[in-house]
A and B are shown apart, each in its own frame.
Chain A
Amino acid sequence: MVELREAFAANGPLYIMLGGLIIGFVFGYIVYRTNFCTMGSISDFMSFGDYRRFRAWILAGATAIVGTQLLVYFGILPLSNTMYISGSLNWLGNILGGFIFGFGMVFAGGCASKNLARAGGGDLRALVTLVIMGIFAYMSIGGVLGPARAAIESATAVPMAGIGASQGLADIASRAAGIAAPTAGLVVGLLIAGLMAAYCFGDSSFRSSPIQIVSGIGIGLCVVAGWAVTGLAFDELADVPMQPISLTYVRPTGDTLEWLQRFTALGLPNFGISSVFGAIVGAFIAAISMGRFRFTTYSDANDTIRNMFGAALMGIGGVMALGCTVGQAITGVSTLAIGSFVTFAAIVTGGIVGMKAFERVLMAEA
Chain B
Amino acid sequence: MADKTLDAKGLNCPIPILKAKKAIAEVPVGGTLEILATDPGAVADFQAFTRQTGHTLVEHSEAGGVYRFLIQRAA
Contacts and interface: CB of A to CB of B under 8 A. Distances in A.
Interface of A: 35, 37, 39-40, 43-44, 47-50, 52-53, 106, 109-110, 118, 121, 123, 125, 287, 290, 292, 294, 296-300, 303, 355, 358-359, 362-363
Contacts of A39: 13-14
A43 B13 contact: yes
Given A294-B65, A299-B9, A362-B19, A47 B14 contact: yes
B64 to A, nearest CB: 9
Contacts of B51: 50
Contact of A35 (B12, B21, B22, B44): B44
Given A48-B49, A48-B52, A362 B41 contact: no
A363 B19 CA distance: 9
Given A121-B40, A292-B40, A296-B38, A48 B48 contact: yes
Nearest to B51: A50
A317 to B, nearest CB: 19
A355 B17 CA distance: 12
A49 B52 contact: yes
A201 B30 CA distance: 35
B17 A43 contact: yes
Contact of A299 (B11, B44, B45): B11
A245 B29 CA distance: 53
B39 to A, nearest CB: 8
Interface centre among B11, B12, B38, B65 (most CB of A within 10 A): B12
A336 B41 CA distance: 32
A53 B9 CA distance: 24
B19 to A, nearest CB: 7
A287 B49 contact: no
Nearest to B7: A299
A298 B52 contact: no
Contacts of A48: 17, 21, 48-49, 52-53
Contacts of A123: 12
A188 B41 CA distance: 37
Contacts of A363: 22
Give the 3 A-B residue pairs with the shortest CB-CB distance, closest first.
A299-B10, A109-B12, A43-B14
B11 A52 contact: no
Interface in B24-75: 38, 40-41, 44-45, 48-49, 51-53, 65
B1 interface: no
Given A39-B14, A43-B14, A294-B65, A50 B40 contact: no
Contacts of B21: 47-48
A122 to B, nearest CB: 9
A37 B13 contact: yes
Contacts of A359: 18
A46 to B, nearest CB: 9
Contacts of A110: 12-13
A256 to B, nearest CB: 22
Given A37-B41, A296-B38, A362-B19, A106 B48 contact: no
B14 A287 contact: no
A300 B15 CA distance: 14
B60 to A, nearest CB: 14
B11 to A, nearest CB: 6
B71 to A, nearest CB: 12
Nearest to A366: B19
13 contacts: A35-B41, A37-B13, A37-B41, A40-B14, A48-B21, A48-B52, A50-B52, A53-B48, A118-B12, A294-B65, A296-B38, A355-B14, A363-B22
Interface centre among A48, A287, A358 (most CB of B within 10 A): A48
Contacts of A47: 14, 17-18, 21, 49
A106 B14 contact: yes
Contacts of A43: 13-14, 17-18
B12 A125 contact: yes
